[in-house]
Amino acid sequence: MQQHRIIVLGAGYTGAIAAGRLAKRLHRDDVSITLVNAEPDFVERVRMHQLAAGQDLTPRPFAEMFAGTGVTLKLAKVTGIDVDGKTVTVTADGAAPEELAYDTLVYALGSAWNTHGVPGTTEHAHQIASRPGALRLRERLAELPAGGTVTVVGGGLTGLEAATEIAEARPDLSVALAARGELGDWLSPKGRRHLRKVCAGLGITVHENTAVTEVGPDTVTTAGGTALPADVTVWTTGFAVHPLARATALEVGDTGQIVVDDTMRSVSHPDVYAIGDAALAMGAGDKPLRMSCASGTPTAWQAADSIAARLTGGKLPHAPLRYFNQCISLGRKEGLIQYVTADDRAVNAALTGRLAALYKELICKGAAWGVANPTMGLPTRRRRVTDTVRTATTEPAEVPA
């Protein structure tokens, strides 16, 4: 019997978890699992602001992470997908394009920075949505002399973490944050007060209700025509998904994310699953999940368990996707844990200070641990693929809950 071929595209938090979890759910004789990624090491994306600020991160090579699991790592860049022909085109450094056939595809190519088309951003701004971007910013900050100016554009979680991390690591620099709205306007009153206190303590100049309309070599221009000094501009105004999905026959939303059902399966192509930032998945209150690690990990679990259930005739999971808190590091000594409703709205409760910083650090370590331990330490039980679906994409009858 031919093995059921599963290809996972992208080895960020979601792709790596999905591949590892599938390897623990399915019998090795029945499936082949190939994980395609351009880099040989796992990237802790939630720590890119730390990397940019000069800190060294623990190397996490995939060769060690997936040793003995049955997951085959293919170091290559995904350049094309034919969802009707069920093939993926990949290109490794210096090699000719290669076509890989699949029976089930897990799309986890994630997202990159979003310039929103603002003039000068691509040419002059730095981003920390990727390791190469964080390393370039790290080099630029290292050569910036005392008194230099750093302007972080974007007042969301990434912008707050970048501004506070840089200000703490380089107190000799003048760090500013430009936020489109009020500082932390989505937080609870306690959260907003603590955020203002930390920014003031670190000497960060906050420009509220400030939209940046152009980025120059040493300034950013606001919608009001004001030029703010910026020897270094860090752009953190959200994320944009990989454009590859939009170029396929997959049904995508306005954002380019793949439209999925509650098992993370494409609504247009049942042999394709999308997870993490790449998926347009609905959470509590019928609201789309935001692009985040907090959203991505549960979608990876959901997809892997759904694929395993469909291949083995098991019970489909229908775990609700919801939020519990937003974890924000504010340098190495301060943090903010904002508790939220299931649909991600702030409640009055918030944890602040050093305890919050420790909490966030544990969350980051836990996320990395979860990639290497995709079943969260529970016993491995590999099920056999049923003969009727070994190479098919049709769905077996669902076992009643």
pLDDT value at residue 161: 98
pLDDT value at residue 254: 96
DSSP 8-state code for residue 387: G
Distance CA 280, CA 277 (A): 8
Distance CA 171, CA 148 (A): 11
Residue 381 exposed, middle or buried by CB count within 10 Å (0-12, 13-18, 19+) = exposed
Q: Please list, in sequence order, all residues whose beta carbon lies within 8 angstroms of the beta carbon of residue 53, skipping any fewer than 6 positions away.
A: 138, 141, 165, 166, 168, 169, 170
Distance CA 132, CA 152 (A): 18
Between 1 and 187, the higher pLDDT residue? 187
pLDDT value at residue 185: 97
pLDDT value at residue 106: 98
Beta bridge partners of 5: 32
> For tokens 């759904």, what's the residue?
306
Encoding tokens for residue 367? 């996320």
Beta bridge partners of 234: 126, 152
Q: State mean pLDDT over 274-303.
A: 94
Q: Is the pLDDT of residue 49 over 60?
A: yes
> For tokens 């600020």, what's the residue?
53
Distance CA 211, CA 198 (A): 23
Residue-wise pLDDT for 124-163, tens only, equals: 999 999 999 999 999 999 999 999 999 999 999 999 999 9
pLDDT value at residue 394: 44
Q: Please provide the size of the chain in residues.
A: 401
Range with the largest mean pLDDT of 66-70, 116-120, 384-388: 116-120
Q: State mean pLDDT over 168-194.
A: 98
Residue 391: band (very low, low, confident or very high) from pLDDT cuts 50, 70, 90: very low
pLDDT value at residue 380: 73
Q: Is the pLDDT of residue 400 over 60?
A: no
Q: Please list, in sequence order, all residues whose beta carbon lies within 8 angstroms of the beta carbon of residue 185, skipping any fewer than 6 positions away.
A: 192
Residue-wise pLDDT for 89-100, tens only, equals: 999 988 899 999
Query: Torsion-angle region of residue 302: left (phi > 0), alpha (psi -120 to 50) or beta?
Result: alpha
Claim: this prediction has a pTM higher than 0.75: yes
pLDDT value at residue 28: 92
Q: Is the pLDDT of residue 390 over 80?
A: no
Q: Is the pLDDT of residue 187 over 60?
A: yes
Distance CA 156, CA 344 (A): 14
Residue-wise pLDDT for 206-223, tens only, equals: 999 999 999 999 999 999
Q: Show contacts of 217-220: CB within 8 Å, 24+ apart.
A: 217/124, 220/151, 220/153, 220/178
Half-sphere exposure for 27 (CA within 13 Å, toward CB)? 11
Residue-wise pLDDT for 320-378, tens only, equals: 899 999 999 999 999 999 999 999 999 999 999 999 999 999 999 999 999 988 987 77
pLDDT value at residue 388: 62
pLDDT value at residue 1: 63
pLDDT value at residue 389: 59
The amino acid occupying position 213 is T
> For tokens 């190397």, what's the residue?
59
pLDDT value at residue 398: 45
The amino acid occupying position 394 is T
The amino acid occupying position 208 is E
Q: Is the pLDDT of residue 399 over 90?
A: no
Encoding tokens for residue 6? 């599963």
- With vertex at residue 249, the alpha carbon angle to CA 245 and CA 254, rounded to the nearest 5 degrees, is 55
Q: State mean pLDDT over 264-291.
A: 96
105 to each of 14, 185, 206, 271, how far by Cα in Å? Answer: 14, 39, 44, 6
Q: Please list, in sequence order, all residues whose beta carbon lies within 8 angstroms of the beta carbon of residue 368, skipping any fewer than 6 positions away.
A: 42, 44, 60
Angle of helix 353-372 relative to helix 13-25, nearest 10 degrees?
A: 50
Strands in 51-113 per DSSP E: 71-75, 77-82, 87-91, 98-101, 104-107, 111-113
- With vertex at residue 232, the alpha carbon angle to CA 133 and CA 337, rounded to the nearest 5 degrees, is 70
Q: State mean pLDDT over 22-34.
A: 96
Rounded to whole angstroms, the maximal C-alpha distance in the chain is 68
DSSP string, 288-309: BPPSSHHHHHHHHHHHHHHHHH
> For tokens 């760090």, what's the residue?
175
